[in-house]
């Protein structure tokens, strides 16, 4: 069993610890919740455990479908060993329906279906409020090469296909989600960060009920229950 070493980094929802191996770190998921670039803060009981387990189940599912990820080994309810990667400073959002910031910015009713999935890039910078950027910005400002961006886009759309199909069978519509990617020591692009109700919009396929962090962002109540319900459906779908 890998014992976490020194704390390397503490973010809004996760801590990262060193391990004896230079190319492995331990991620620990917290129950702390923030929204609107940290302006809203709270706690979602049990969130860390859900996000850890759900991310790991999704990563294994994606690996089985040819998407390389940083996942190595689940250590405990909240801790997981992952590959240490150099994070590409671009948040990648895939959207199947207009919702959230896209609906607001472009004046489109939330829930409007998109003709095909849209991939958006946001510059990962809290001080600037994670601004939307174009592929041109990413390439010219040197955050990723054109080839890396093409690979990131391809992988993001593949994640959308695999998870969208899996979740539809669990009666969940994958509305949109945010991914982060990293470079391994040998320069390969792999999926990193997490995939959870914190980073996705999940709507019940029949009722449209929100089963994600929007219940916290928008004060809809039933936040913990939504995270647990999503966990049940994902585990059910994987026969666990």
Nearer to its own copies, 153 or 183 (CB): 153
* Interaction mask 74-113, its own copies, x per CB under 8 A: -------------------------------xxxx-----
225 scored as a contact of its own copies (CB under 8 A): no
Nearer to its own copies, 8 or 119 (CB): 119
141 scored as a contact of its own copies (CB under 8 A): yes
Residue 83 CA, chain-centre distance (Å), reads: 16
CA distance 44 to 32: 6
Give the phi and the psi of residue 84 in degrees, each rounded to 5. -80, 125
Long-range contacts made by residues 97-105, C-beta under 8 angstroms, separation at least 24?
Answer: 97/173, 97/175, 97/176, 99/175, 99/176, 99/201, 100/176, 100/201, 100/214, 102/176, 105/132
CB of 113 to its own copies, least distance (A): 10
| Residue with token string 């913990």 | 224
User: Which residues have C-beta within 8 Å of that of residue 61, sequence separation ≥ 6?
Assistant: 162, 163, 166, 238
Among 46, 135, 164, 237, binds its own copies (CB under 8 A): 135
Chain residues 113-132 in contact with its own copies, contact rule CB under 8 A:
114-116, 118-121, 123, 125, 127-128, 131-132
Give, for 17, the enclosing helix (H) or strand (E): strand 14-18
Nearer to its own copies, 54 or 94 (CB): 94
CB of 161 to its own copies, least distance (A): 17
Structure tokens given for 222: 């039933």
Among 21, 37, 134, 225, binds its own copies (CB under 8 A): 134
* Interacting residue ranges for its own copies, rule: CB under 8 A: 105-108, 114-116, 118-121, 123, 125, 127-128, 131-137, 140-142
């Amino acid at each position: 069993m890998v014992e976490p070493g020194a704390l390397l980094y503490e973010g809004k929802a996760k801590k990262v610890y060193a391990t004896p191996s230079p190319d492995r770190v331990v991620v620990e998921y917290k129950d702390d919740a923030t929204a609107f670039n940290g302006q809203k803060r709270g706690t979602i009981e049990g969130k860390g455990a859900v996000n850890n387990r759900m991310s790991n189940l999704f990563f294994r599912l994606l690996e089985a479908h040819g998407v390389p990820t940083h996942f190595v080994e689940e250590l405990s309810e909240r801790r997981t060993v992952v590959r240490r990667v150099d994070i590409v400073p671009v948040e990648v959002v895939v959207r199947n329906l207009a919702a959230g910031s896209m609906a607001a910015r472009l004046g489109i009713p939330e829930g409007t279906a998109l003709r095909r999935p849209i991939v958006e890039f946001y510059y990962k910078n809290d001080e600037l409020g994670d601004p939307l950027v174009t592929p041109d910005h990413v390439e010219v400002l040197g955050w990723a090469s054109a080839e890396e961006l093409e690979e990131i886009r391809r992988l993001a759309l593949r994640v959308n296909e695999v998870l969208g199909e899996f979740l539809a069978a669990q009666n969940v519509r994958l509305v949109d989600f945010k991914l982060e990617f990293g470079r391994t020591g040998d320069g390969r692009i792999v999926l990193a960060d997490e995939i959870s109700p914190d980073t996705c919009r999940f709507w019940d396929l029949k009722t449209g009920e929100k089963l994600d962090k929007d219940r916290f962002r928008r004060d809809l109540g039933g936040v913990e229950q939504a995270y647990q319900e999503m966990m049940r459906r994902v585990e059910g779908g994987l026969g666990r």
